[in-house]
């Protein structure tokens, strides 16, 4: 049973680098979400796609964060250029119900920016 798959599990980047995180949602799910999770800020929504169309882009994250969904089974989150404050766990989730009240999350990618 394939859940949400995120790669890589860990990423270490130098300040100023470009990194790309990948996500494969649960097969058949129309909605895909990217979140950032930190102890201080908790869970913050970065992007929301419905049927590959960008529905929300998490306002404050527009400048250096770009999520794309090239097809229904694959999404990327690009951070360019990275800054130390971007160090966090990045979670991808998908949903198959229209109210999005049951999300399926990946393991997350732990990003460390030096």
Give the binding range for another protein (CB under 8 A) out of 10-18, 67-75, 76-84, 101-109: 101-109
Q: Is 103 in the site for another protein (CB under 8 A)?
A: yes
Give the binding range for another protein (CB under 8 A) out of 17-25, 65-73, 78-86, 97-105: 97-105
As measured in angstroms, the least distance from the Cβ of 11 to another protein is 17
CB contact at 8 A, 113 and 86: yes
Q: Is 102 in the site for another protein (CB under 8 A)?
A: yes
CB contact at 8 A, 61 and 46: yes
The upper half-sphere exposure of residue 30, i.e. CA atoms within 13 Å in the direction of its Cβ, equals: 9
Measure the CA–CA gap between 31 and 88, rounded to whole angstroms. 23
């Amino acid at each position: 049973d394939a859940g949400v798959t995120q790669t890589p599990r860990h990423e270490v980047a130098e300040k100023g680098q470009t990194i790309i995180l990948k996500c494969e949602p649960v097969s058949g799910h129309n909605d895909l979400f990217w979140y950032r999770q930190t102890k201080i800020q908790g869970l913050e929504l970065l992007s929301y796609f419905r049927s590959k169309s960008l529905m929300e882009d998490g306002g404050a994250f527009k400048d250096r964060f770009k999520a794309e969904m090239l097809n229904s089974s694959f999404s990327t989150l690009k951070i360019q250029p990275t800054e130390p404050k971007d160090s966090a766990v990045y979670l991808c989730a998908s949903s198959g119900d229209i109210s999005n009240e049951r999300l399926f999350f990946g393991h997350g990618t732990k990003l460390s920016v030096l």
